[in-house]
Amino acid sequence: MTLEAILAYLHILAILTMVVFISSEAALCRVEWMNAAVVERLGRVDMVYGIAAVAVLATGVARTWWGMKGTAWYWTNPLLHLKLTLFIIVGLLSIRPTMTYSRWRKALRSSGALPDEAEVRKTRKQVMVQAHIIALIPLAAVFLARGFGARG
C-alpha cells in the first residue's frame, strides 16, 4: 500500500512539473517578450520539461509493474494505450520546438540575432498544441483509474 502511494505521488509530481514547464514555455515564447534572456531561458525550461516527461513515463511504467493492479490489468486496458498514444504524440510534437530553441540559442550566441516574429509565433503555436493534448491525457486517466475499459 505504501509503495502504491509513493508511486502515485511521484507520478503526479512528474505530471505537475511537466505541465508547469510546458505552460512556462507557452508564456515565454511570445513575440512581445522575446529577448536574449528569454531565448536562453526557453532552452532551460524546455530541458526541464523533457526531464519531467521522462519522469512521467518512468513513474507511469513503474506504477504498472509495482502498483497494486499489476501489469495484466493495466496493459490490457485500451485507455492505457490511449494515454500512451497521446503521450507519444506530445513527445513527437515537442521535437521541433526543442530543435528551434537550440537553433535560436546558437544564433544568439554567435551573432546576437533574435528569432524573427513569424518563427516565434509558429513555435508558440506548436507548444500550445502540445499543452492542449496534454490536457486530454488526465481524462483517459480518471476513467482508467475507475476501471473503465477493464476486461473481465
70-121 tens-digit pLDDT: 898 899 999 999 999 999 999 999 999 999 999 999 999 999 999 999 999 9
Residue ranges of domains in the chain: 2-145
For residue 127 the three cell numbers come to: 507548444
What is the per-residue pLDDT across 15-61, written as a single tens digit (0 to 9) for each? 999 999 999 999 999 999 999 999 999 999 999 999 999 999 999 99
Q: N- to C-terminal Cα distance for the chain?
A: 23
Burial class (CB in 10 A: 0-12, 13-18, 19+), 35: exposed
Q: Tell which residue, 105, 102, 123, 122, has the closest CA to residue 114.
A: 105
Q: How far is CA 64 from CA 1, 94, 145, in A?
A: 14, 25, 12
pLDDT value at residue 152:
60
| Cell digits of residue 4 | 502504491
State mean pLDDT over 62-66: 93
Q: For helices 117-134 and 2-28, give the axis angle rounded to 10 degrees.
A: 160
